[in-house]
Amino acid sequence: MSATVTPLRPQSQPNDLESFWMPFTNNRQFKRSPRMLVAAKDMHYRAADGREILDATSGLWCVNAGHGRPKIVEAVQRQVAALDFAPTFQLGHPLPFELAARLTTFMDGHFDHVFFTNSGSESVDTALKIALAYHRARGQGTRTRLIGRERGYHGVGFGGISVGGIVKNRMFFGSLLNGVDHLPHTHNLEQNAFTRGQPAWGAQLAGELERLVQLHDASTIAAVIVEPVAGSTGVLVPPKGYLERLRQICDRHGILLIFDEVITGYGRLGKPFATDYFGVKPDLITTAKGLTNGTIPMGAVFARKGIYEAFMDAPEGSIELFHGYTYSGHPVAAAAALATLDVYKEEGLLERAAGLSQYWEDSIHGLKGARHVIDLRNLGLVAGIELEPRPGAAGARAFEAFTKAFDKGVLIRVTGDIIALSPPLIVEKPQIDQMVDTVRTVLKEVA
Ligand SMILES: Cc1ncc(COP(=O)(O)O)c(C=O)c1O
């Protein structure tokens, strides 16, 4: 790594680790033995002790173009000096208009409006609210039910955890939203273990949506939200035909289909979005993360043709959608996003995973037979490596693998007992080898 810039506060080990209440972290464990990152360039982080760490997780599924890309850095620097902030409530500034127009060019004009947020969680809440308000605007205000899926992750807002399906993310936080149901998840080791790409078994699970329609009646259901490939619960690849079936059932009953593409968006599968990859068009798409290459927080919700228009019959002079964030379309974030899209385009990054995916698949499946491994799955440039849980200590084995890999200079991500890999889209084959070799070595060492 040739990190050229000195961090603003070069002190690598702050004196007070206590005050920062860290998100989704075992705070006590971390603060006893911190893993501190102080710089990053291209495929590598630099740790506080000076070691280079190969990034096999794109930070947190977001740094798709690799770290410290000069074009993005310069765009942010220029924009913050020129216009640090301007409201987008009843005022405007040029960048979000330019960005939205550019984003709509991605998908054959099918999605013609974009609502900006600051995160994946906000994108999800925004999409759910748009779905509810859309039906109401069309005189179908009885459509209030939302349907998510078991093992789904849709961020941490109350909307997102209500439609999400991760027990620990839900159980501490009261009764959540009313009127939410869940489809069954599609993960089945007996049927699908060690499948390369999309599993053959499981499309029928989409039929559970019909059952929910029979139970509640379509006139009460607003939207279904799923991740096309579930990321955070360990890379669950949709069975062949599953997403198509969901689309058909939604169409039959006038239910909106939302794809949460916070992870799959911006090139992860070798196409710009999962909707392109699977050839299934939802009504709303939520994105964030790769939109700005993780540089500045920003999310974007894409709405298909007709959704925005449904709101435009509101009385003249009235706000059409009572929703938005102070930082919706923030100038610096928008500048980062525009520069990120330039980098993606110039380097063909939104398609690059397609050329690497076979090598990736072969490398990942080369771990078959490695110690503790009970499943391997992959699509595009994402992979899940499922480990047999240690009896009575779910997650402990994978967490140990994570810390050992970090010590050996590779950043992996773990969720429960699943290792999830999703490298920046600039990754080279020798770096894929290094990731897989490190995982293999670590699994030999982990008890
Ligand atoms: C599919 C999906 N939706 C939503 C989110 C939430 O995004 P954020 O953490 O930016 O709020 C994530 C984060 O990983 C995600 O993977």
Is residue 441 helix, strand or coil?
Answer: helix
Assess whether the C-beta atom of 124 lies below 6 angstroms from ligand 1: yes
Q: Concatenated DSSP letters for 341-376?
A: HHHHHHTTHHHHHHHHHHHHHHHHHTTTTSTTEEEE
Nearest to 224 by CA among 136, 304, 165, 283: 283
Q: How far is the CA of 185 from the centre of ligand 1 (A)?
A: 18
Tens-digit pLDDT profile for residues 80-133? 999 999 999 999 999 999 999 999 999 888 999 999 999 999 999 999 999 999
Assess whether the C-beta atom of 296 lies below 6 angstroms from ligand 1: no
Burial of residue 169 (CB within 10 Å: 0-12, 13-18, 19+) is middle
- Give strand pairing partners of 148: 182
Q: In what order do the strands lie in the sheet with 37-41?
A: 37-41, 44-47, 52-55, 410-411
**pLDDT band at residue 4 using 50, 70 and 90 as cut-offs:** low
Is residue 418 helix, strand or coil?
Answer: strand
Q: What share of the chain has pLDDT > 90, as a percent? A: 95
* pTM recorded for the entire structure: 0.97
Nearest to 311 by CA among 137, 114, 139, 141: 137
Mean pLDDT along residues 215-228: 98
Is residue 100 helix, strand or coil?
Answer: helix
Cβ–Cβ contacts within 10 Å for residue 410, how many? 25
Mean pLDDT along residues 348-364: 98
How far is Cα 100 from Cα 91, in angstroms, rounded to an integer?
16
Q: Determine the pLDDT at residue 53.
A: 98
Residues counted in the chain? 447
Q: Determine the pLDDT at residue 429.
A: 98
Q: How far is the CA of 385 from the centre of ligand 1 (A)?
A: 20
Q: Is the pLDDT of residue 341 over 80?
A: yes
Minimum CA distance residue for ligand 1 atom 7:
120
